[in-house]
Amino acid sequence: MDKEIRINRENNAVYDLVSIYTGLSKINSMFGDNVNEDDYLDNALNCLRLIGNVHPLLYGISAESDNEGYVCLPANALSIEAVTNGYFDWSSFSYMGNTSNFNLSGQYIAYEFLGDRIRIEHPNKKVSILYKGYSSDEEGLPLITEAEAEACAYWWVYIDTRRKIRTGNASANNYFQIALSDKNKAINQARVPNKFSQNFLNQYGNVITSFDRKSYNKDYKPIKLQ
């Protein structure tokens, strides 16, 4: 559990998450288009799903179930790590959340994950929930990297060009291939981190070399990453 968090966040070389709206300003500066904010957000979320990057953090909340046993989760929840009937051990609970191990006290209790909430058997009961969620802004929209914002901008232009072709725009046909290749290039670039830290490479290299050493008839020399 903790290891996965380190892979995603602690071994990042730079903290470069920006608002999802950064893509809007990029569209304006790169293409001069005025885009409806909501239309952009619809398409940007589609684009992010296509890129497939997730920037998760581990969060912990204490809450009380309602009369029917439901507990609402924050909007950024992706998956549940643990639900217990105890409280967080504040001695190891850092305000940074991701820098220390959570130590849930109490017993694990059975729950049903319903997407935006969980249901437990006990009404009006205090529970501690450890969940994995993406980094989000105050609206619940994900924070993204600069490369992802640029990919969202190119994705918008691709969608817009396709729409223009459907409405009979003569010049959009000529531009379509460029928009398509730009979009694919930007999406592929967004999948690669801007910079690898030594910690990440060390971890990545260990995985590869350990796999190689277990293979039959393979070289035992460790792989050197450039």
Q: Which two tokens stand for residue 72?
A: 């609402």
Give the residue with the Cβ less far from other proteins, 32 or 220.
32
Binding test (CB under 8 A) with other proteins, winner from 116, 191, 192, 225: 116
172 binds other proteins (CB under 8 A): yes
Report helix, strand and coil shares of the chain as percent, to nearest 5.
Answer: 40, 20, 40
The CA–CA distances, whole Å, from 16 to 45, 117, 154, 168, 200 equal: 19, 30, 19, 40, 16
Q: Is the dihedral of CA 142, 4, 194, 97 positive or negative?
A: positive
- The pattern of x and - marking residues 96 through 115 that bind other proteins according to CB under 8 A reads --------------------
Say if residues 151 and 51 touch (Cβ distance below 8 Å).
Answer: yes
Residue from 28, 99, 139, 213 that binds other proteins (CB under 8 A)? 139
Stretch that binds other proteins, among 37-45, 119-127, 146-154, 185-193 (CB under 8 A): 37-45
Cα first-last separation, the chain:
29
Closest to other proteins by CB, 5 vs 41, is 41
Binding residue count for other proteins, defined by CB under 8 A: 19
Site residues for other proteins per CB under 8 A: 34, 36-39, 41-42, 45, 75, 116, 139-141, 164, 168-172
